[in-house]
Amino acid sequence: MWSVTYPPVFNLTGMKLGKCLVIGGWLLSIGAAFAQPLQVELDLSATEVISQGQTGTCWSFCTTSFLESEALRLTGERHDFSEMAQVRVIYPEKVERYVRYQGNHQFGPGGLSHDVTHSAAVYGLVPQSVYSGGEGALGHDHKVLDRKIKGLAEKMVKAEKGLEAASFAQVDALLDAHLGPLPASFEYQGKSYTPASFRDAMGIDPDAYVALSSFAHHPFGAPFILEVPDNHAQGAFWNVPLDELESEVHHALDNGFTVAWDADVSNGGFSFVDGWAIMPETAATRDQWEGLAAMPEEPVVSQAMRQAAFDTQENTDDHLMHIVGRATDAQGRRYFVIKNSWGQGNPFGGRQFVSMSYFRHHTIGIMVHEDGLSRPLLEDMGR
């Protein structure tokens, strides 16, 4: 364990409360929302929170952060990987898929974690210092790029020649202009690499990562195609009961593995500004939470409750984040600690504390290294 001085802590109204310093973990005082301190018992992050800027590429920021923690676990070294290299690989595939489906397919900047592991498999990884992906002084801004590439894709659908090479040359030229051409080789820390050899040097095996979810409209103990729009590549998730999904995340963390997390965040209980994600039952609004003597009580989330929220589209695939640790409050309630790619603009440097009720209700899916899963689940999966 190590000593950590966390960023200044604020209460709900923004009043600065000061810093906390603890040996062997983080002791956090979070104002009215947490009347008692939170003890962070696990932190497996490799890099600090960064911002995805004005882009819809949380899938790459989350999963790249996840792979950075994987590289730390596997090699003992911290490295900062390029998020935009994965975007540059995936965007042409999205265009081709959209055109082959004659425009009747999801097309946009979103994606899921398996897009990054696929990119790592077919291309590799590169350091951020080698490929910044068009990042400007104010960060990434894809508003123009997204509009132009959608226009090109639609033009290709309407063209008589369809998937002609010249049209794809325009796609590549547009991406190169906004993100830059991908390197075929590079120098890093005094060594020469290709993207594939760098991936291998980091210990990353894309085939070793598995996706899990929990939905009752598919059989448990089998893979299924998750029906969310940004699953444009039709990636499969292994379906497990809800209790097992939660326990597998705890198992992974306890054994040194972080988790990529896809969740609904379009609800009143998710507050990046305040640094939490909870399902309040005692209080209905943020103003009410401020006056409580402790964190509000949360409902017990069942499989049926979760399924109903997905079926009615109360829960949607909104945002991918990176589960890097776990915390406990004075009442013994547990929280997952996440990195959120909305930047460092909250009291905890961009991290948030996710209650177990929130995780159970709002999770869409997760990704984890197969070695982080329990032996019984691996046997069920035939891995």
Residue 8 has pLDDT above 80, yes or no: no
Q: What are phi and psi of 228, to 5 degrees?
A: -130, 145
- pLDDT reading at 26 higher than 50: no
H helices of 101-133, in order, are: 113-122
Mean pLDDT of 310-333: 93
Between CA 295 and CA 302, with CA 296 as vertex, the angle to 5 degrees is 115
Check residue 23 and give its pLDDT. 23
286 pLDDT tier (thresholds 50, 70, 90): low
Token digits for 6? 């966390």
Alpha-carbon span 266 to 52, nearest angstrom: 18
Coil vs helix vs strand at 71:
helix
Distances (CA, A) of 39 to 30, 325, 334: 11, 11, 10
The predicted pLDDT at position 1 comes to 24
Q: What percent of the chain has pLDDT over 90?
A: 78
Q: Is residue 110 left, alpha or beta, with left meaning phi > 0 and alpha meaning psi from -120 to 50?
A: beta
287 pLDDT exceeds 90?
no
According to the model, what pLDDT value does residue 19 have?
26
Higher pLDDT among residues 226 and 158, named by residue: 226
- 176: CB partners within 8 A, 6+ apart: none
58-201: CATH topology is: Cathepsin B; Chain A (3.90.70)
Whether the predicted pLDDT of 7 surpasses 70: no
Would you tell me the crossing angle of helices 83-100 and 113-122 to the nearest 10 degrees? 100
Average pLDDT (172-194) is: 98
DSSP per-residue codes, 4-52: EEPPPEE-TT--EEE--EEETSEEEEEGGGEEEEEEEEEE---S---B-
pLDDT band at 10 (very low <50, low <70, confident <90, very high): very low
pLDDT tops 90 at residue 18 = no
Q: State pTM to two decimals.
A: 0.90
Residue 30, pLDDT score: 44
CATH superfamily of the domain spanning 27-49+206-381: Cysteine proteinases (3.90.70.10)
How close are the terminal C-alpha atoms of the chain, in Å? 32
Average per-residue pLDDT for the chain:
88
pLDDT in tens, 202-218: 999 999 999 999 999 99
Where are the domain boundaries for CATH 3.90.70.10 in the chain? Answer: 27-49+206-381, 58-201
Look up tokens 């547009």; give the residue: 174
Q: Is the pLDDT reported for residue 13 higher than 90?
A: no
Q: Give 65-99 pLDDT, tens digit per residue.
A: 999 999 999 999 999 999 999 999 999 999 999 99
CA dihedral 3, 7, 9, 10 (to 10 degrees): -170
Look at residue 330 in the predicted model and tell me its pLDDT.
78
CB-based burial, 242-262: b 16+ in 10 Å, e otherwise: bebbbebbbbbbeeebbbbbb
Q: Name residues whose C-beta falls within 8 Å of residue 166's C-beta, 6 or more positions apart in sequence.
A: none
